[in-house]
Structure 1
Amino acid sequence: MGAYLSSPNCEKNTTTGSSQSPVNGTTLEWSATDMQGWRKSMEDAHITKTDLGDGNMCFAVFDGHGGSGVARFCEKHMVDVLREQEVYKGGDIGKALKETFHGLDDMIDSSEYREEIGRLGAEKKELVGEGGKGSEGEDADGEKMRPSEAIELFQKLLSMSRNGGKEEGGDDTKPKEDSASKAVETSSAETTPTVGRQRVLSTSVSTVDPRTGKQQCLLPDHPVHAGCTSVVAVVKGKEITVANAGDSRAVLRRKDSVFPLSYDHKPASEIESERIKKAGGFVNQFGRVNGNLNLSRSIGDLKYKQNIEVKREEQMITAEPDLITTTLEDGDEFIIIGCDGIWDCLTNEEACDFVSSRIETMKVSDIVEECLNTIVSEDPRATQGIGGDNMTLVVVDLKAGLREKNLGGGAGEGAKGGEDE
């Protein structure tokens, strides 16, 4: 079944913990669960630390692609890199998070960490069954193609065959670039291994093939192919700062309303596509940068961060996070952080309602596990990929100490595992 298993791996890795709530001074409880699901490997990672050594807390989710190495590298090193920032020591959490995201990029680019990234990726790799890089359901670079994209591609090709090579509704006799053509028309510059990030001009980033009229990526490759979207929440006293690069997401249940703590970055959005084009790249009709990545911000993906003419935050794929900072209020209930495998299935409101309807009577860990069981697809082909991705979900109950639950046992530290180290 291409990029999917014949049946989902629903085994869950759940950890729980507790601390003092910054909202009311009672108990805060959290739970984090990850599940491989239908994917042939688990590429997510996360952080749940309720004390960074200075009383600050950090909760984060990293959604890996091209392997789990970069996601697990961020899981291992992000907190240390954050604490080393001078601006962090000075109290500017937002600026420190930005410097941390880019600092991790620099570390990933360094040959010093190359072996570690490879080892971390290999430790988490859990391939099952046949298929692999370049197999059905993946593009030439091993990026996941969702069934909905495959269906759309098939319909386009079928329509074009009926119209003598023309796209339905279009005048161009040459089809636009798609993931299938990308698999057989990868430029020689992409397949030539290099030592590290090359320095190229925007005019050498991509080109149009005169034979087909299709845009092609000309970027030299990088030894580290992997990357990860990153959403990181740091709680300092009653202030929470969320840094987001990509389409993982965080949301706060504020009394009876939903307060977004991040917004997704998609290549097709106006702000993202403009930056990509200015850096010399392009977004194809499937919303993929240079015909490959279906995301526009991430840590890693260094192949797309080589244009010498633009700043780090202006690269076609950038680690530059957007920031949202807010003061936690007495009526705030809980925080939800998840990878896009969660948010493909649930809106912010649906996720908050799911937790809210259970949090007065259930352990947080049971809520998180039930949520993953509820949204995993019975057949990702039938749901066009929805519910077929890796899933990582973190819920932080800010008012746990005020809830009167008859649970038959505590949900405190170590109930299903300890705090991440």
Structure 2
Amino acid sequence: MGTLLDKPVTEKEDTEEGEAHGLRYGVSSMQGWRVDMEDSHCYEPNLDEELPGVSLFSVFDGHGGQFAAKYAASNITRILKSQQKYKDYVASPTDPSTLGSALQSCFLQIDVEMLQTPTMSSKKDRSGCTAVCVVVTPTHLICANAGDSRSCYKTSSVLPLSDDHKPYNPTESSRIENAGGYVSMKRVDGDLAVSRALGDFQYKDRPDLKPEEQKVTAYPDIEIKERKGEDEYIVIACDGIWDVCSNEECCGLVEEILGEGEGKAGLISEEMLDVCLERGSRDNMTCGVILFEGAKIAEGGEGVQARREKREEEAKAEALAKETEGEGTE
């Protein structure tokens, strides 16, 4: 994981929130204990004027530097719209698998263009990033995932929208070995803890293999779910969240906050960061929450503000107790 700070940086970065197409959305980031902030995200609540009611929400968890995650966040919508499958979907937006195919070719094209940048082509930058992207249409949820960032959602139950790509998973280890690599200490070539990512070109050096056959590939898995009236919310986050929360625990936390009367998705996202920090996460954290109209928000509660006031009171009481204890030993 690298060097950690003496104390975490807890300020929230780049918090966004808004409403579109019956959705309330929010996302926030925290540097935490890490020396640098390497996460990035891209939220496009109105993805395309030719696709009414379609939104894109994505999170990129960088490693080895910031460049890959920032490049992906800045370019994903442009590159997605340039894909032929995307244009096919715009012409006839009936089959969500067409949009899923567009996301797959988009992820691979991000790699192609990133490698051509002076930063990457000079080989001075060896950064990479995991990527999870959820496109919400009026009828479906389409999730593309490469790596161990993750998305899940609450409907009649908690359901995954993605599965983590770890080097020791049988499908992943088989591809790594077929490309001439190995898995040691649960890492690709004993070094990289994820088996799919954008960037990380030092693991994509076999010209005789397709991009999806390299030791590390940007090729994402696609999950498609039909929207239903009982859908409540989506969580999309980097592994700094999932290190300390299962899907069920994460959604349970969102449920608690909604049950305390909080309806602002940005504040819910910020509270998720604070709670996961308390639970022991040592990584950068980015968390996004997308609320559907079916989200169960309690009336009359004080929401996240009450939680913050309680946390502040507890911190003051703890500091006072330490001060009193110190005086007693003099």
Q: Above 0.5 in TM-score?
A: yes
Q: Structure 1's 291 and 408: CA in aligned 2 closer, same or farther, altered over 3 A? A: closer
Tell me what 2:309 maps to. Answer: none
Tell me what 1:93 maps to. Answer: 99
Taking the aligned partners of 1:403 and 1:6, their CA distance within structure 2 comes to 38
1:308: Cα distance to partner?
2.2
Taking the aligned partners of 1:35 and 1:269, their CA distance within structure 2 comes to 29
Pick from 22, 28, 35: which aligns with 1:33? 28
Pick from 229, 239, 248: which aligns with 2:149? 248
The structure showing larger relative contact order (alpha-carbon pairs under 8 Å, at least 6 residues apart) is: 1
Pick from 157, 166, 171: which aligns with 1:271? 171
Matches within 5 A, 1:169-188: none
Tell me what 1:398 maps to. Answer: 292
How many pairs align?
Answer: 289
Q: Structure 1's 29 and 400: CA in aligned 2 closer, same or farther, altered over 3 A? A: farther
Matched-pair contact (CA < 8 Å) for 1:47–1:75: yes
TM-score when scaled to structure 2?
A: 0.83
Q: Structure 1's 88 and 358: CA in aligned 2 closer, same or farther, altered over 3 A? A: same
Taking the aligned partners of 1:70 and 1:227, their CA distance within structure 2 comes to 5
1:370: Cα distance to partner?
1.8
1:408: Cα distance to partner?
8.7
Q: What secondary structure does 1:41 align onto? A: coil
Tell me what 1:6 maps to. Answer: 6
1:367: Cα distance to partner?
2.2
Matched-pair contact (CA < 8 Å) for 1:64–1:229: yes
1:401: Cα distance to partner?
8.3
Pick from 246, 253, 257: which aligns with 1:354? 253
Matched-pair contact (CA < 8 Å) for 1:224–1:301: no
Tell me what 1:230 maps to. Answer: 131
Say which structure is richer in helix: 2
1:224: Cα distance to partner?
3.2
Q: What secondary structure does 1:376 align onto? A: helix
Once superposed, which parts of structure 1, at least 4 consecutive aligned residues long, lie more than 6 Å away? Answer: none
Matched-pair contact (CA < 8 Å) for 1:377–1:388: no
Q: What secondary structure does 1:90 align onto? A: helix
Pick from 200, 204, 208: which aligns with 1:305? 204
- Code of the aligned partner of 2:167: P
Q: What secondary structure does 2:253 align onto? A: helix
Matched-pair contact (CA < 8 Å) for 1:87–1:93: yes
Q: What secondary structure does 2:131 align onto? A: strand
- Code of the aligned partner of 2:37: M
Matched-pair contact (CA < 8 Å) for 2:258–2:296: no
Tell me what 1:314 maps to. Answer: 213
1:307: Cα distance to partner?
0.8
Q: Structure 1's 50 and 400: CA in aligned 2 closer, same or farther, altered over 3 A? A: farther
1:269: Cα distance to partner?
1.1
Structure 1 spans left out of the alignment, 5+ residues: 22-27, 118-194, 197-221, 379-385, 410-421
Pick from 386, 389, 409: which aligns with 2:283? 389
1:238: Cα distance to partner?
1.6
1:377: Cα distance to partner?
4.6
Rg larger in 1 or in 2?
A: 1
Taking the aligned partners of 2:276 and 2:297, their CA distance within structure 1 comes to 26
CA RMSD in angstroms comes to 2.0
1:223: Cα distance to partner?
3.8
TM-score when scaled to structure 1?
A: 0.65
